[in-house]
Amino acid sequence: MSHQKSHQALWQLLTKNGRQIWAYKPDSNPIEEHLSNAHNFSEQELASFAKDFLFDREKNPSASDAIFRAQMQANNPRLEAQQKPSSKNPEEQKLIDSIINGIEYFSQLQSDEGHWAGDYGGPLFLLPGLLIASYLSDTPFPKPHQTMMQVYLFNHQHTDGGWGMHIEGEPTMFGTVMQYVSLRILGVDKEDARLSKARTWIKENGGATGIPSWGKFYLSLLNLYDWDGFNSLLPEMWLLPTWLPFHPSRYWCHSRMVYLPMAYCYAERIQAPENELILALREEIYCEDFASINWKKQRNTVCEKDIYTVQSPILKWTNLINNGYEQIKSQWLRKKTTAYLLSYINAEDAQTEYLDIGPVSKAINSVCIWHAYGKKSESFKKHVTRWYDYLWVAEDGMKMSGYNGSQLWDTAFTMRAMLESDLGLLFPKTLEKGEQFIDAMQIQAEHETHHEFFRHPMIGSWPFSTAEQGWPVADCTSEGLSATLALQKTGIFKQNINDERLKQAVDIILSYQNKDGGWPTYELQRAPKWLEKLNPSEIFADIMADYSWTECSAACSIALLDFQERFPNYKKAEIKQALSSGLNYIIKKQKQDGSWYGGWAVCFTYATWFSIEALMQGQAYIDSNEHKQCIQKASDFLLNKQMTDGGWGETYESCAKMTYTQADSSQVVNTAWAVLGLQAANSDNKQAIQQGVNLLLNRQLDNGDWAQENISGVFNYNCMITYSSYRNIFPIWALNRFYKNSITSEK
Ligand code: LAN
C-alpha cells in the first residue's frame, strides 16, 4: 500500500484455522515454518520502527488496526456485491450504497478460512506478564518483536510519565510499574528521559510498595518484591473438599485459572536470581531503600489511584489466618499441593493446546512449566510457541491481546449483521466462508480430563475464539447457533452443520441457565455472591463466581427463540420454561431509568439494545402489560440519551461508575446499538431513528470503513478491551435493519 509506511509492511499476519500469528518478514506462509525460522533483521530496520510506528495517544489511544487492514486490502481484491440494487428514491439509494460499501470493505478483511481477525488489545497488564515469563526462563523474544513491544509501551505513556491499567485509563501504580519494569527488561536504559519521568510518577505516588496484589505477585517473581509482602494464597485450599462454598473449583473460571498458577508460584516462591538489572530496579521503583522495607506491612498497601474494590473485613481476617498458616504449614502437605496444582496446570495446557484460557494464565502457566520441567522440556517449548498467538501488531506497536482472538464472536456477529436484510445475500462468498469457519469452530469433543478438572460439558458449544482454545462460552454458543440458523435459512449453500449439532448447541445453552433464570459466561454459578467479599484483586469487581449477565441472558434467549422457530417440537416444554425465566430475569434487571447495565461492552446502550432485542422477539413469554411498560421505558431511555447531532456516545467510565457517562462526541458503535434497539422496539419516534441513521451514514469513510473511536469492550467493570470490528459490524447491522424496515413499509 502506498500510504503505508515502509517498515510497517515488514509485519504480516499469518492465519490458519483461525490461528493468528504476526510474522516479521515471512518468506513462506505456513505458520509452523515461520515459528521455527530464525530472524534476519538489520539494525536499521529496527531503528525505523520507532519512527514508522509513531502514534499519538493524545489524539486517540485506540489504534485503528491500520497495519492488518492495509495488508488485507493490499492482498485481497475488493469483493464486489453481485449486483447493486437501484432505487428511485435517492435517500434509499444512499442507504443501499452505504451498506454495500460497508460490506464490501469488511469482506476484504475476511481471512481465507472465513473469520475476521482484529486488534484485541487494550489492557496494559498483559504484555508485562509475558515479558516476565520470557525473562525468567531466559527465552527472549526475537529482536524485531522486542523493538515493537518497546514502541508500543512508549506509545501508551501519558504525558505525566505514567500508564493506565488499560490504554484509555488514567495512570495507576499497577500500570506504571508494570510498563516501567517491562521496558527495563526490554533493555531500555534507566537514563532514558521517558523512564526518568515514569520514575518520578512512581515515586510521587508512593512507590511500588503500593502496587496492587497482582503487581506484587509479578514483582515477587522478579525478585523485586519480597514474597513476605504478599498475602498468602493458601495453596492447600485446592485440597479441601469441593462441596465447600469457597473451594476454588467454584470460582469464575478466569479467576480460578489465574489463581491456580499463582498459587503454584507462591508455594514454590519462584524468584529470579539477583543480577545487575534486578539490583538496579530495586533502587528505581521504591521511595525507600529496598533492604529497609518492612514487607509484612506492605501486604495490604495499595496506591489510591488503583483501588477499585476495597478489601472487606472478612478478607482481612482470612488473610491473617492464611498468613499465619504459612508460618506453620506442613511440608508434606505443601508437596502434595504443588503436585496437584501442577497436574491441573498440565491438564489445562493439554486441553487448550497450550493456549490456556486467557492471557494472564497463559503467562503464569509458562512460568510454572518452566520452573517444574525446565527450559528444554517439550511442554515449555510448546508454551513458547503459543506466546505468539497472543501478540498483535497495530500502528501503535506490538501488544498482547486479551485472548487468542475474538474469531468466532466477530464472525458470528458479522453473519447476522449481513443477513439482517437481503442485501447480505449479494455476498455469497463471504457468507459461505463465514459458515465454513463457524462450522469448523463448533466444539465436538471433550478432553478426557475435563470432568476431573471441573469443566462444564461442551459438546456442541462454541468458544469465543477458536475450537482449539476450546473453552465453551454460553453466549458465544448462542451467537454461533443464531448465526448458523440465519445462514441456513438463506438456503443458498451446503448446510455443513446438521440438525443434531444444532440440537447439541441448544442442549448446551439449556445446561448453562443459572437458577436465577439468567445466563452466565462460561459455567454455571457455582459459588454464592458473598464470596465476592473474598475477592483479593483490589482492581476488579465480581470476579469470584460466574454470575448471570444481562447480555449473556439476552443472547441465549434469542438463540433459543431462533431455534424454536425452526424446531418447534424439540424439548418444547423445557425451552418454554427456560425462555420464560430467562426473559423475566432480563425484565428484573432493568434499571429505574429504563436501561440495563452492560458488563462486557460500553455499556448501557449495549445491554439495552441486547435486552430489547430479546424481549421483543420473546414477547409471547411475558405478561403483555409488563412487556409494554418495559419496552416503553427502554425506548425512552435511549431517546433521552440521544445527543444533538443525532448520535449516542458513552465513555468507558459508564462501566466502572455504573452510571451513564456521556462522551464528548457521539460514537458510531453506541449509535448503532441505540438505532438497532429503537428499531427493534418499534419506536414511533421515526425522526430519532432517522437522525441516528444519518449520523452513521455521514461518518462512513469513502472506502466503506468507519473511523476507530473510543474503546468498546470491558471486563470486570474496570478494565477496557478493544473490539476493532465493532465499528464495522454494528453500523452495517443498524443500517441494514433500517433498509429492511424501509422496504417492508413501502410494500
Ligand atoms: C471476554 C471476551 C468475551 C466476553 C463475551 C462473550 C463478549 C461476554 O458476553 C461474556 C464474557 C466474555 C467471554 C469474556 C470474559 C472475560 C475475558 C475472557 C474477555 C473480556 C476477554 C478477556 C477477559 C479475561 C478475563 C482477561 C484476563 C484478565 C483477567 C482478570 C484474568
30-86: pLDDT as tens digits: 787 777 666 778 888 899 999 999 999 999 999 999 999 999 999 998 888 888 899
95 CA to centre of ligand 1 in angstroms: 34
pLDDT at 745: 77
What is the tens place of the pLDDT at every residue in 100-136? 999 999 999 999 999 999 999 999 999 999 999 999 9
Residue 476 Cα: closest atom of ligand 1: 6
- 550 Cα–ligand 1 center, Å: 15
Return the pLDDT at 407: 98
- The backbone torsions φ and ψ at residue 662, rounded to the nearest 5 degrees and listed phi first, read -75, 140
C-alpha distances out from residue 51 to 5, 148, 151, 395, Å: 9, 11, 9, 11
Region 439-455: what's the mean pLDDT? Answer: 96
End-to-end CA distance of the chain: 45
Over the stretch 699-725, which tens digit does the pLDDT of each residue have? 999 999 999 999 999 999 999 999 999
Q: In whole angstroms, what is the distance from residue 39 CA to residue 144 CA? A: 8
Angstrom distances, CA of residue 177 to CA of 125, 201, 229, 478: 10, 9, 17, 40
What distance in angstroms lies between residue 516's CA and the mean position of ligand 1's atoms? 21
Is 360 touching ligand 1 by the criterion CB < 6 Å? yes
| Average pLDDT rounded to a whole number, residues 177-185 | 98
Evaluate if pTM is beyond 0.95: yes
Q: Using an 8 Å Cβ cutoff, are 557 and 475 in contact?
A: no
pLDDT tens digits, one per residue of 137-171: 999 999 999 999 999 999 999 999 999 999 999 99
pLDDT for res 37: 66
| Ligand 1 center from residue 674 Cα (angstroms) | 23
Cβ of 553 below 6 Å from ligand 1: no
358 CA → ligand 1 middle, Å: 8
Query: By alpha-carbon position, which residue is closest to atom 8 of ligand 1?
Result: 600
For helices 550-566 and 572-589, give the axis angle rounded to 10 degrees: 150
pLDDT at 2: 41
**Residue 497 and residue 482: Cα distance in Å, rounded?**
12
CB 488 within 8 A of CB 499: no
**Closest Cα to residue 111, out of 209, 11, 13, 212?**
13
Quick check: CB of 361 below 6 Å from ligand 1? no
> Using 50, 70 and 90 to split pLDDT, how confident is the model at 493?
confident
Q: Provide the 8-state DSSP code for 706.
A: B
Q: What is the DSSP letter of 123?
A: B
- pLDDT score for 1: 40
Whose Cα sits closest to atom 2 in ligand 1? Answer: 464
What average pLDDT does this structure show over 643-652? 98
- Cβ of residue 600 lying under 6 Å from some atom of ligand 1: yes
* pLDDT tens sequence across 597-625: 999 999 999 999 999 999 999 999 999 99
> CB of 201 closer than 6 A to ligand 1?
no
Q: What is the pLDDT of residue 677?
A: 98
Q: Is 475 a catalytic residue?
A: yes
392 pocket-lining for ligand 1 (C-beta < 6 Å)? no
**pLDDT value at residue 83:** 87
Q: Which band of pLDDT confidence, cut at 50, 70 and 90, is reported for residue 287?
A: very high
- On average, the pLDDT of the chain sits at 96
To test the pocket of ligand 1, the residue of 165, 521, 602, 606 to mutate (highest count of ligand atoms within 8 Å of its CB) is 521
607 CB near ligand 1 (under 6 Å) = no
Check if 358 has its Cβ closer than 6 Å to any atom of ligand 1. yes
Q: How many residues does the chain have?
A: 747
Ligand 1 pocket check for 551: Cβ under 6 Å: yes
Closest ligand 1 atom to 357 CA: 18
Q: What is the pLDDT of residue 14?
A: 94
Q: What is the 3-state secondary structure (H, E, C) of 588-627?
A: HHCCCCCCCCCCCECCHHHHHHHHHHHHHHCHHHCCHHHH
Cell numbers 498458616: residue: 325
**Measured at the alpha carbon of residue 510, what is the angle toward residues 506 and 512, in degrees to the nearest 5?**
120
How many helices (DSSP H) and strands (DSSP E) are in the chain? 27, 10
C-alpha cell, 147? 523493538
Q: How far is CA 241 from CA 133, 249, 263, in A?
A: 32, 10, 18
pLDDT recorded at residue 30: 77
Catalytic residue from among 475, 507, 546, 705: 475
- What's the CA-to-centroid distance between 324 and ligand 1, angstroms? 34
The predicted pLDDT at position 81 comes to 84
Distance (angstroms) between ligand 1 centre and the Cα of 574 equals: 29
CB 472 within 8 A of CB 461: yes
Closest ligand 1 atom to Cα of 713: 20
538 lines ligand 1 (CB under 6 A): no
With the C-alpha atoms ordered 465, 468, 473, 476, is the resulting torsion angle positive or negative?
positive
Q: pLDDT tens, 516-572?
A: 999 999 999 999 999 999 999 999 999 999 999 999 999 999 999 999 999 999 999
**Ligand 1 pocket member 363 (CB < 6 A):** no
What's residue 38's pLDDT? 64
Ligand 1 pocket check for 49: Cβ under 6 Å: no
The pLDDT assigned to 603 comes to 97
**Protein residue with least CA distance to atom 26, ligand 1:** 402
Distance 715 CA to ligand 1 centre (A): 6
Distance between CA 636 and CA 237 in Å, rounded? 49
Quick check: 17 pLDDT over 50? yes
Residue 706, beta-bridge partner list: 700
pLDDT of residue 438: 98
360 CA to centre of ligand 1 in angstroms: 12
Least confident of 198-207, 421-430, 593-602, 738-747: 738-747
Atom of ligand 1 nearest to the CA of 540: 30
Ligand 1 atom, smallest distance to 714 CA: 20
